[in-house]
Structure 1
Amino acid sequence: MRCRYFLAAALGLALIGSPAFSADEDKVPYWASIDTDVANMRVGPGNTFRIDWVYRRLHLPVKVLRREGPWRQVEDPDGARGWIRDVLLSRQRGAMVRADGLVEMHQAGASGSPVLWKVEPGVVGLLGECDKGWCAFEVAGHKGFVEQDRLWGAQNL
């Protein structure tokens, strides 16, 4: 059994805005996040299918691609796909910093606003509202704004 995202890639600094929720749950794709300390991703939609990945990363964003009963086929930030029970997922959106280097977290959603923190790639946090290319982001109680294109899970579907 492989283990993925066991520990936070770095101390995350982020900000919480109002939670961003996706459209009607019946429509796919939509964004969700891991809502438990341990979540098994299986190769098929059922408990009898082999566990392919074990996620240990609260708020890790996933893209829900299909629904089959209580199971959701998801894609993680690295492109791995599999099935997770719906009770292990939340509609509260998370995001993961995706960049080649440190990403600036600003006081406001504008490049000219003061930089509060610098966040490392792989950091996961809660995603707030996105507007004009900037998203509210919260990590470990630290709040700010990050450029939308630097976050996986912040895109519109």
Structure 2
Amino acid sequence: MLGTILAVTLAAASLLAPPVAVPAGAQDAADAKGPVGRASGLPIPRFLSLKADKVNVRSGPTRDHAVAWVFTRAGLPVEVTAEFETWRRIRDSDGSEGWVYHSMLSSRRTALVSPWLKGEPTTLYASADKTSGVRARLEPGVLGKVEHCDGKWCRFFDNGFDGYVEQERLWGVYPGEKID
């Protein structure tokens, strides 16, 4: 009985709640790919990167929550797993999670070379083909920018290297994700 009353009360409350504005195209993205954040209207989860060299990660989504740790390198990829107003819950490549203020994140896509493969280099190819020339062997944890992924290969570059990496060897893009 209490459960029925609670369900009816919640249903009535949802009818009284003001509509949430969703950016144009975000609903189409949600329908095609899954859930979106209420604050941004963008897909959850999604990858972004850190905008600054010093980013405080908090235990909760306000400045009143304690700083759990501090990132000290701009450009690191993080996965947004939830949103609360202007705060984003993020996960790093080690699986650690915390909250950061939204303005500390950039939509620029970056990735880390297979941080889970300690000591095993990843090959950077001249083109999106294993028969193309080898440009470099990248150690796990190398940070680079990601551009154009076709679901199997990504162009991966930074100062000193430029080529293609098998998408499954990068943390910062989803398996099969396409990026133009």
TM range (shorter): 0.7 to 0.9
Distance 2:138 2:161 in 1: 11
Question: In the TM superposition, what are the counterparts of 1:57-136 in structure 2 within 5 Å?
Answer: 57-98=73-114, 99-100=117-118, 101-136=120-155
Query: Is the deviation greater in 143-152 or in 50-59?
Result: 50-59
Determine which structure has the larger helix proportion and give its number.
2
Given the two structures, how large is their TM-score scaled by the length of structure 1? 0.80
Q: 2:70 is paired with a residue of what secondary structure?
A: strand
The residue number in structure 1 matching 2:164 is: 145
Given the two structures, how large is their TM-score scaled by the length of structure 2? 0.70
Determine which structure has the larger strand proportion and give its number.
1
- Residues 63, 74 of structure 1: 8 Å contact kept: yes
Distance 1:35 1:114 in 2: 33
Displaced runs of 4+ in structure 1, greater than 6 A? none
Assess, with a 3 A threshold, how the Cα gap between structure 1 residues 132 and 67 changes in structure 2: closer, same or farther.
closer
Q: CA RMSD in A?
A: 1.7
Gaps of 5+ in 2: 1-28, 30-35
Gaps of 5+ in 1: 1-22
Aligned length: 135
Q: For 2:61, which of 31, 45, 49 is the aligned residue?
A: 45
Higher Cα radius of gyration: 2
